[in-house]
Structure 1
Amino acid sequence: MTENLSRRPLTGLLVAQLVSVLGTSMSALAIPWLVLTSTGSATRTGLIAFAELAPYVAMQALGGPLVDRIGARRISVLGNAAAAVAVCAIPALYAIDLLPLGALAGLVAAAGAVRGMADCAGQVLVPGAADLGAVPLERAAGLHGSANQTGLFVGAAAAGVMVSALGAPAVVLVDGITFALAAALVAMLVPTAAQPQRSERRLSTRQYAADLAEGVRFIRTDRLLLLLVAMIAVTNLLDQGINAVLVPVWIREHLHQPWALGLVAGVLGAGALIGALTAAWLGPKLPRRVVFTIGTLISGAPLSLVLALTGTLPPALTAAFVAGLATGGLNPILNAVLYERIPPQLRARTLGALKASAWIGTPIGPLLAGSLIEATSLRTTLCTFAMIFLVATAAPLMLPAMRHMNRAPRPQPDGTRTADNEVLPESA
């Protein structure tokens, strides 16, 4: 009984993540489809995606010092609750015909900002919740990734059906409700003990800047983290352009049915879920570098290439499943590496800076995809994305720093870290 109770914080955190991502993945399909069908413009569709993602990325970068002082648990609850209000306002204003493109952009921007804070805090809570339940860190990271992928899979599959049956605004309303439920779950099930000790230092403007700089400085001293964040920044940019613009435009041009959009996203999510569950189960036994190398190479380029060469659904579904399988297996490995290499007292500001750096290109991805389509063609854009994806994922794998993925660094008395007997300098 005691063991079950001690695992309640991690369970609550996982369920909150699942519920939140479930709704987010539904509106991630519903909102672009609403804009695309209302305006017929790939550029405006990309603009709305940019409006949400830019504040999200900014708050990931800037929120760490606030999480350190206010507390990860409180930020998670307040951020999800605020996101619920902003997202529920979208269908409410649409129902009374007061939702021009500018108002929609403002609401998704507000939702993106508070989601960025909540997600920064939620990631910080994972190691502490795992410790309370005596769950191995790699397994906890895998389960957290599995919850994320389950939400993506179920939400995407449901979105296609619900958009066809109920309309996009109703799907967005469901997303708002899921944020409120996620806030309640964290408030009720995740104790304060799951978060790192709060900083007692007064947060002046100078101290705030110093805290942000400390997180960035930690990343700069670790060559593996620098390599990973550069690779992920490029692939996230491409992924967002594919998911938010290229796939919806491909569906509109070839299949003309919103349910197909949900089906492609659902199959992608199913593959990612299987990959994440496999990584959670076998993660402690698998050679990280080998799995990461294979996964990155097949996670993006094949899907773009298949979409460029076909206009039918079966090949697209096959490619989406393979891409999802690869992507789902990567995230638990990445998260375990981050949790091992970053000290608890630096996790909020360092993870926030890392995620913001990795996501810095995501607001540009949809804009780039939409602009390239209108300047060239859908097929040319897909081929271009496939080539960039292949170069971005293949080149870094040849660098020596990648061998450190298989080993946890050992803290040193002077604050430096070692991995494979390598002492990293204080600055790079």
Structure 2
Amino acid sequence: MHLLVMGKSAYSRVIDGTPVPITIAGHTAQFTRPLISYALARGMAVSYAYPLRPSGCLMLDPRDAVPDGVVEVPFNDLSAQKAPLHIGWLSVEASLRQAVERQGGIDWVFLPYAFPLAPLLAGLKEKYGYRLALFLRGGDGYQWPDPRWVAETLGDAGHAHQVCGLYKESLAAADFVGVASKWLGDVVAGHGVRWHAVVESPAAMWLGTGPEPPWDRARFSADPGVTRRIGDLDASKKWVLSAGRIHPDKHLDLAADIFASAGLDGWQLVLSGVGTGLDGLATGALAELVAKGSACVLEVPPRIVHALFQVSDAYLQTSLPSATFVDARPSSVTSAAFHGKPVVLPIAAAGGVSESVAPENLREFGFDVRGLDPTGPDGRAETVRRGAAALRGLEDADLAARAGAANARHASGSSVDAVFDRVWARLGER
């Protein structure tokens, strides 16, 4: 099979002297990378199209590399001369054509995040003779098929219906549509979009060649890719991990407030993320925790992020649904559960986070935030109180161990092989 994967920049490298960083997002670090490794391991010819000038939450990892055997066909977001128009679609098609020419044809194009390239790739199917698989990860499923949301974004209701119509036509034209969670599938179905299977982002795992080397805290801490942004790791304490983009959507500041309120003795809060909101994060409860050696902020590259889940003791999830963001199924929670960690998490009115953990974990370590407004002082205080109460459950070592073991059983089907074995089985039915 000849496979073309097209998406954001999932690897860190230098091309002709220009650094090309990783765009940190679940559908890059925890979907594109394992997808490419899976395909290569099964003898597929793999091409990879990505932007040379990525944007978003970016990270450079000097030890990262695109796997051997991948045909790289990067594209640019070009601007038209003498007109304020972006014509990046020409560069995208040029990359597609280059992959077709170098591989002698393309059987499948995989798009790990459907918006905005799905309409272009659906329109080029017949021209280049490939089949198209789209994987809805979040806003590409719950925002862009929704005319009301698009109207608010574009400011033109009539135009919004046309945009939604074109986008949904491309989803209908795809040969396979996967959704990150059952919750997201229900949402897109409500907008008249047909999907074929739940395809979560796999758990963070070793993707290197050969057997995985043993990991412990000393080896993890010494890796040159681990960057200390605030504070430092304390290997003598147990680690509560909270990971994600440093962005208001992820509410990492809430993690600090919850951890401080819980008052766990002998534990450290480890925040792992990258983004532009670090200065705003390093205040209040987090600053006090760092001063006491009870918290730190790291940047951990996708190459070894699985090791951080392995050596941590528990996970704290704090992203909450809002008018602009819902976590359809966070790969960090899937990863923590897969590696057998108890997960403290909000039970919210929207989102698919609960699908990644065992019912036992949800019962013992879930805290109900339905009906609370975390942006207001009263709602935030109550959210912190409930989250801290759930976090204190970690003091019961037996309870935490049982929840972690239940999570490992529940998430065993989220390994890289298991997730993509199911995808390829479904593709064989198409």
Bin for the TM-score computed over the shorter chain: under 0.3
**Which has a greater percent of strand?**
2
User: Which structure ranks higher in relative contact order (CA pairs < 8 Å, sequence separation ≥ 6)?
Assistant: 1
Please, what TM-score do these two structures have when normalized by structure 1? Answer: 0.27
Please, what TM-score do these two structures have when normalized by structure 2? Answer: 0.27
